Amino acid sequence: MSNGQGLRILVLDPDPVSGQQVAMTLDAAGLDPQACAFEARALIDALRGFNPQLLWVRAELGSDTLGRLLATLERQAQFATLPIVLLCQDVREAAYVRQMKTGVVELLQLPFSPRLHLARLRLLPRELPERRGQLRGSGTGRDLQSLLEHLIRAHRTGTLSVNEGASNEGRAFFVKGVLQSAWFGKQQGPTALASLGALPEAQWQFSEGADGAGGLFEWDALSGEADEPLELQLAGASPQVAPGPAAAPPPPAALEPPRPTAPPPTGYANLAAGSAGVPATAPTVEAASDVSQTAVLFVDDDPALSKLFQTYFSKKGYPVDTAADGVEAMQKLLERPFEIVIADLNMPRLDGWGLLRVLREDARTQETPVALFSCHDDYRESLRAMHAGAQAYYPKSLRMNALELQVRELLEPRRRFERLASGGQSVTQNLSALGAQWVLKLLSKLKVTGRLDATDAWATFRLYFTSGVLTQAVARVENQTLDPTQALTAFITGRGIEGSLAFGGESLPSAFGGQSTEDLLAYMAEHLNEMKRRSREEAQAGAKALEVDAELYQLYASVGPPQYRAIAQLLCEVKLLPRDVMARLGATPQEVATVVNDLLLRGVATLRA
């Protein structure tokens, strides 16, 4: 199999159609591909049934998508070292990747090019056995920090030796990208790693493998002639165990992180500490507290439950406000931002489902995370099954301490992005999942100077910032370049956008008249809302009928606003036109229009010309 013929390749692509197209191309080239969904159970079944020799994955290095995939593989010991080829936008770390024998071993630039990419696939079976699984280099602390960042982003396992044999020698050991132990002089753990990253000059070598010398990986993954792979047993290793000379542990004061007189150039010390859960140095920008800045809005018409919630979460340090129903909640959301809304499903005036739809329709609030809860399991689970748009659905029987843990977990992707960005750390993540406007506002708050590169199925984007001010927005759709306002609109309204944040670079003149990022986003939200309003009015003016989703209508008929049900029944079941509904019930045009808008917002009906 030295020429790659018959190579078993499992293809994973967030877009099933794209994944099937790649698999068909690989099959036509004489390879043996199988497409698989991006879902843990399906992946495990495909791994065991197909037994691939290589994974083809469309994802960015360091993205949540890749992180979840690697975590799934790591739980299946026999597949933990499978070679992975990434089809991605950012290939800047290819020099690191192409020295490795396992895990991510190749970065291929989007878009998919059969001619170029098939050639690389055919070379890999011959090339991988010849790789040493080592990264060697020398340079400044900034150069070393780039390597350290890669080890974490790519979930590498192995030993990093710095200035081996010299007086300023140090060493660090990683398992799946997590720092397990490190030493530098008398320093240990994250503090030692931070000091290594601050060296003015260094020589280093990283050797992948559990024993630090490639012992775990001395087998040809693509030939099928593998020894039984060893399971990693080091995940719980004590960070105090170091391979350096025996020495008495330093006193507690010596483990305290040093306070630099000037911020480190890339803030890697904070990232290194984050991997072990211990802060190493003060970040270059003051990082936000996970709790103290998490403003929560609790929406329920039960005053006793609202008081209980507010008391518990306030004692935990969260700023909490309450609202009695969806109407009051929407008023408060437009007055000030909240990090999360937790709303009861059953409320007067505007229930939780209706509040969710109003939030998602308004560009000013559409990115706010919403958790819906109810004691009615059928109602709650029906909305979950129909993907109504909430981030979470909780039973009212959930205990307060469990609910707080759920809230923390729900907000962790944003917290992780904020921790890395505030530490000056370049980061790649699903920006649509975080919220495009939220990301831009955070970069403004952190006064970032740098560039955001992103892509979705429709366009590629590049946004430039100077001290937190968005100065330029560029978007390319095939061979067309959009103007800055169009580019920003496409970025804010895009779906499935993944991107990477890079710090530094030259300052560019503003394409937006020097407006602050916050003012610019406020203008854009107002502009988008006006566009939606006009579009809705034009659609209603030309509409002749409602197209009803039968399943959602059954739910609406049982739990929707009682005052709307008579009109909704005539519109959706009897299929009367609005004028006939007004004649039969004596309803006003405004009353009928209100019900139609409610049906449209909840997705129960769409307009048909």
pLDDT of residue 270: 31
With a CB cutoff of 8 Å and minimum separation 6, the contacts of 277 are none
Which residue type, as a one-letter code, is found at position 491?
A: F
Rg of the Cα atoms in the chain: 27
* Low pLDDT (below 50) residues in the chain: 1-3, 211-289
Q: What span, in angstroms and rounded, lies between the C-alpha atoms of 53 and 62?
A: 22
* 207 close to 159: Cβ distance less than 8 angstroms: yes
pLDDT of residue 348: 85
With a CB cutoff of 8 Å and minimum separation 6, the contacts of 322 are 297, 298, 299, 300, 306, 309, 310
pLDDT of residue 63: 84
Q: What span, in angstroms and rounded, lies between the C-alpha atoms of 491 and 459?
A: 9
Give the closest residue to 170 by CA, choosing from 138, 202, 139: 202
Judge if 8-130 and 543-608 fold alike in CATH terms. Answer: no
What is the CATH number that goes with domain 8-130? 3.40.50.2300
Q: What span, in angstroms and rounded, lies between the C-alpha atoms of 427 and 152?
A: 11
Q: What span, in angstroms and rounded, lies between the C-alpha atoms of 187 and 102?
A: 31
* 443 close to 452: Cβ distance less than 8 angstroms: yes
With a CB cutoff of 8 Å and minimum separation 6, the contacts of 123 are 4
Residue 437 to residues 186, 199, 426, 488, Cα–Cα distance (Å): 45, 37, 19, 10
The correct answer on CATH 1.10.3470 for the domain covering 543-608 is no
Give the closest residue to 329 by CA, choosing from 353, 312, 305: 353
* 123 close to 172: Cβ distance less than 8 angstroms: no
From the centroid of its chain, how far is CA 8?
A: 29
Q: What span, in angstroms and rounded, lies between the C-alpha atoms of 494 and 455?
A: 9
What does pTM read for this prediction? 0.52
CA dihedral 279, 498, 61, 197 (to 10 degrees): -30
Question: In the chain, where are the structural domains located?
Answer: 8-130, 134-226+236-245+264-276, 296-413, 426-525, 543-608
Q: What span, in angstroms and rounded, lies between the C-alpha atoms of 7 and 354?
A: 52
Backbone angles phi, psi at 88, to 5 degrees: -150, 170
- DSSP string for 421-448: HHTT--EEEEHHHH-HHHHHHHHHHTT-
**pLDDT (tens digit per residue) in 60-76:** 988 888 888 888 887 88
With a CB cutoff of 8 Å and minimum separation 6, the contacts of 482 are 459, 474, 475, 476, 490
* 576 close to 526: Cβ distance less than 8 angstroms: no
- Classify 504 in phi/psi space as left (phi over 0), alpha (psi -120 to 50) or beta: left
- DSSP string for 510-556: -SSTT--HHHHHHHHHHHHHHHHHHHHHHHHHH--EEEE-HHHHHHH
Backbone angles phi, psi at 85, to 5 degrees: -105, 125
Query: Can you state the angle between helices 589-601 and 578-585, rounded to 10 degrees?
Result: 130
* 525 close to 533: Cβ distance less than 8 angstroms: no
Q: What span, in angstroms and rounded, lies between the C-alpha atoms of 578 and 587?
A: 10
pLDDT of residue 364: 94
The correct answer on CATH 3.60.21.10 for the domain covering 296-413 is no
